[in-house]
Amino acid sequence: MAVSRRDVDVAGLVDRARGGEPRAVARLISLVENDSPVLREVAAALAPHGGHAQVVGLTGSPGVGKSTSTSALVTALRAADKRVGVLAVDPSSPFSGGALLGDRVRMQDHATDDGVFIRSMASRGQLGGLSAAVPQALRVLDATGCDVVLVETVGVGQAEVEIASLADTTLLVVAPGFGDGIQAAKAGIIEIADIFVVNKADRDGADQVVRDLRYMQSLGGKHSTAGAWRPPIVKTVAARAEGVDDVIAAIEKHRGWMEEHGELDRRRRIRAAAEIEAIALGTVRQKFAEVHGSTALDTAAGRVVAGSTDPYTAAEELVASL
Binding site for ligand GDP (CB under 6 A): 60, 62-68, 199-200, 202-203, 237-239
Closest residue to ligand GDP in the complex (CB): 67
To ligand GDP, the closest distance from the beta carbon of 180 in angstroms equals 11
Q: How far is the CB of 34 from ligand GDP (least distance, A)?
A: 27
Q: State the nearest-atom distance from the C-beta of 160 to ligand GDP, in Å.
A: 12
Q: How far is the CB of 276 from ligand GDP (least distance, A)?
A: 32
Among residues 105 and 192, whose Cβ is nearest to ligand GDP? 105
What does the DSSP assignment read for 53-82?
SEEEEEE--TTSSHHHHHHHHHHHHHHTT-
Question: What 3-state DSSP class applies to 146?
Answer: coil
Q: Find residue 124's DSSP bridge partners.
A: 130
Rounded to a whole number of angstroms, the minimum distance from the CB of residue 2 to ligand GDP is 36
Nearer Cβ to ligand GDP (12/62): 62
Smallest separation (angstroms) from ligand GDP to the CB of 122: 15
Contact 161, 176 (CB under 8 A): no
Residue 94 identity (one-letter amino acid)? P
b/e code 134-164 from CB counts within 10 Å (16+ = b) = bbbbbbbbbbbbbbbbbbbbbbeeebbbbbb
Distance (Å, rounded) from C-alpha 243 to C-alpha 39?
40
Asked whether the beta carbons of 191 and 129 are under 8 A apart, the reply is no
Alpha helix ranges (H) inside the chain? 10-18, 22-33, 39-46, 66-79, 99-104, 133-143, 158-164, 180-186, 189-192, 206-218, 244-261, 263-291, 295-306, 311-321
Nearer to ligand GDP, 45 or 159 (CB): 159
In angstroms and rounded to an integer, the radius of gyration of the C-alpha atoms of the chain is: 22
Would you say 57 or 65 has its CB closer to ligand GDP? 65
Nearer Cβ to ligand GDP (14/238): 238
DSSP lists the bridge partners of residue 197 as: 173, 234
Shortest distance, position 65 Cβ to ligand GDP, whole Å: 3
